Amino acid sequence: MFVDTAKVFISAGKGGDGAVNFRHEIYVEKGGPDGGDGGKGGDVVFVATSGLNTLVDFRYKPELKAKPGGNGTKRDRHGADGEDLLVKVPMGTIVRKKDEIIADLVSDGQKIVIAKGGDGGFGNAHFKSSVRQTPRIAEKGEMGESFEATLELKLLADVGLVGFPNVGKSTFLSVVSNARPEIADYPFTTLSPNLGVADIDNTSLLIADIPGLIEGASEGKGLGDAFLRHVERTAVLLHLIDAYTDDIAGAYQTIRSELSNYKINLDTKPEIIALTKIDGLDDEIVQMQVDAVKKVAGKTPVFAISSVAHKGLNELLRGLRKKVLEARENVELTDEPDEGIETISLGQAKIADAWNVQRVEDDEDGIIIFKVSGEKVEKFARRTDFGNFEGVNRLRDILKKLGITHELHRQGAEGDSVIQIANNKFTFLEQ
């Protein structure tokens, strides 16, 4: 089954918890702290893999979960890192979180971390200081990132076949490539895209055959525009027209207007035209039909082929290869890096350090709450065990270091004021 969209639930592994433990030595009454750190949770990693061309597996298995990190143990032993989950996806898979594109996997073997595993918590061995000889605190491991994502496949073929139903698209693919699509003498034989690799002069072309288009396809007629996304990103369009068509120029223009109604920019998308099924026609008639198309096709090259009689196929494949190479070169020359991506003006470290304090009245019981937000401070809070007073005290130390305590005082916080960080509440000073 061909499936080109899927919804998945992604969760990276939780980090392991740090341990609280004290050394036991025969002649030492109170050994030092030796609780080890938790291991890192596994990441969820997508790997673009050639040879795949459907997202169907995700319909049956929508949950993508990486392993958690192990907890720390005594004698400073680290917990093991959780195993990453490697997920194979077809080339051309786009990953969206809400409406934002977070990954676009385009080249074979490309790996992208889609969700990061949580860091492991520190064991109590980390918390020894001159004033705290027997720290009974350890950090909890962080949660891994988890969210719902949608996957969309837009095939990345070199050549996309377009045209009316029954013009011989699948037959062409079956003759020039390894693909074995269904072929029949009626419209809409092909119900979902087929991919094939055609060899020509020691190189190869990846060709996508999509279901036939009719007038109104972009508004949903016939099989509609559901499959047009698969020619959006192909380097070159091969427009096939049945040489027996009476109004051949009109046929050409109908398909073109459906393509442009579906936001495909025909001014920039390279195209080649081929008249098909010429095996039963006299040369003069074929020439007449070629001339008729040329009148409306401008500079677009026009070929005449017969898949059944293997006529004109190598010439067409060479023409396609030339256009594909040109198109790829143009893309490399003109493709500017997307604006806005990875051009953050503040340094990454500064962004992580930044925080904000907001004094708000709680809706439920009317008390004042001081809400503290910020990447780093929230990260510490998530790793704090709020059931352990030493842990909360350490968080209070961190607030001081980051300058947040000062701001809390300035906004009028008192000892028993409620501070909220990342959904955890505690009092400003130890009560």
Q: How many residues bind Mg ion (CB under 5 A)?
A: 4
User: Which residues contact residue 185 at a Cβ distance below 8 angstroms, ignoring those fewer than 6 apart?
Assistant: 166
At its nearest, how many Å lie between ligand GTP and the CB of residue 311? 8
Separation of alpha carbons 348 and 103, rounded Å: 20
Nearest 5°: the CA angle 130, 136, 142 is 110
Helices (H) and strands (E) in the chain, counts: 10, 18
- Are the C-beta atoms of 301 and 266 separated by less than 8 Å? no
Give the x/- contact pattern for Mg ion in 85-104, rule: CB under 5 A.
--------------------
Residue nearest to ligand GTP (CB): 212
At its nearest, how many Å lie between ligand GTP and the CB of residue 116? 44
Backbone angles phi, psi at 28, to 5 degrees: -105, 125
Please give the residues from 163 up to 202 whose contact with Mg ion meets the rule CB under 5 A: 169-170, 189-190
Please enumerate, as own/partner, the contacts of 298-303 that have beta carbons within 8 Å and a separation of 24 or more.
300/271, 300/272, 300/273, 301/272, 301/273, 302/272, 302/273, 302/274, 302/275, 303/272, 303/273, 303/274, 303/275
Of these partners, Mg ion, ligand GTP, none, which one is at the site of residue 222 (CB under 5 to 8 Å by kind)?
none
CB closer to ligand GTP out of 68 and 312: 312
At its nearest, how many Å lie between Mg ion and the CB of residue 224? 16
At its nearest, how many Å lie between Mg ion and the CB of residue 180? 12
Residues forming the site for ligand GTP (CB under 6 A): 165-171, 183-185, 187-190, 211-212, 276-277, 279-280, 306-308
CB closer to ligand GTP out of 296 and 308: 308
CB closer to ligand GTP out of 80 and 286: 286
At its nearest, how many Å lie between Mg ion and the CB of residue 169? 5
Tokens of 39: 């291991």
- Are the C-beta atoms of 213 and 261 separated by less than 8 Å? no
Of these partners, Mg ion, ligand GTP, none, which one is at the site of residue 187 (CB under 5 to 8 Å by kind)?
ligand GTP
Radius of gyration, alpha carbons of the chain: 31
At its nearest, how many Å lie between ligand GTP and the CB of residue 310? 9
Q: Can you tell me whether residue 307 is helix, strand or coil?
A: coil
Of these partners, Mg ion, ligand GTP, none, which one is at the site of residue 167 (CB under 5 to 8 Å by kind)?
ligand GTP
At its nearest, how many Å lie between ligand GTP and the CB of residue 53? 17
| Cα-to-chain-centroid distance, residue 354 | 28
Separation of alpha carbons 45 and 113, rounded Å: 4
At its nearest, how many Å lie between ligand GTP and the CB of residue 209? 7
CB closer to Mg ion out of 185 and 338: 185
Q: Can you tell me whether residue 208 is helix, strand or coil?
A: strand
- Are the C-beta atoms of 272 and 319 separated by less than 8 Å? yes
CB closer to Mg ion out of 177 and 190: 190
Q: Can you tell me whether residue 191 is helix, strand or coil?
A: coil
At its nearest, how many Å lie between ligand GTP and the CB of residue 181? 7
Of these partners, Mg ion, ligand GTP, none, which one is at the site of residue 384 (CB under 5 to 8 Å by kind)?
none
Is 71 one of the binding residues for Mg ion (CB under 5 A)?
no
User: Which residues contact residue 344 at a Cβ distance below 8 angstroms, ignoring those fewer than 6 apart?
Assistant: 351
CB closer to ligand GTP out of 187 and 301: 187
CB closer to ligand GTP out of 210 and 381: 210
User: Which residues contact residue 307 at a Cβ distance below 8 angstroms, ignoring those fewer than 6 apart?
Assistant: 168, 171, 172, 174, 175, 176, 276, 277, 313
Nearest 5°: the CA angle 103, 106, 111 is 60
At its nearest, how many Å lie between ligand GTP and the CB of residue 195? 14
CB closer to ligand GTP out of 9 and 188: 188
CB closer to Mg ion out of 9 and 188: 188
CB closer to Mg ion out of 183 and 354: 183
Separation of alpha carbons 86 and 202, rounded Å: 33
Write the burial class of residue 209 (CB in 10 Å: 0-12 exposed, 13-18 middle, 19+ buried): buried
Tokens of 79: 């917990």
Q: Can you tell me whether residue 322 is helix, strand or coil?
A: helix
Of these partners, Mg ion, ligand GTP, none, which one is at the site of residue 306 (CB under 5 to 8 Å by kind)?
ligand GTP
Residues that bind Mg ion (CB under 5 A): 169-170, 189-190
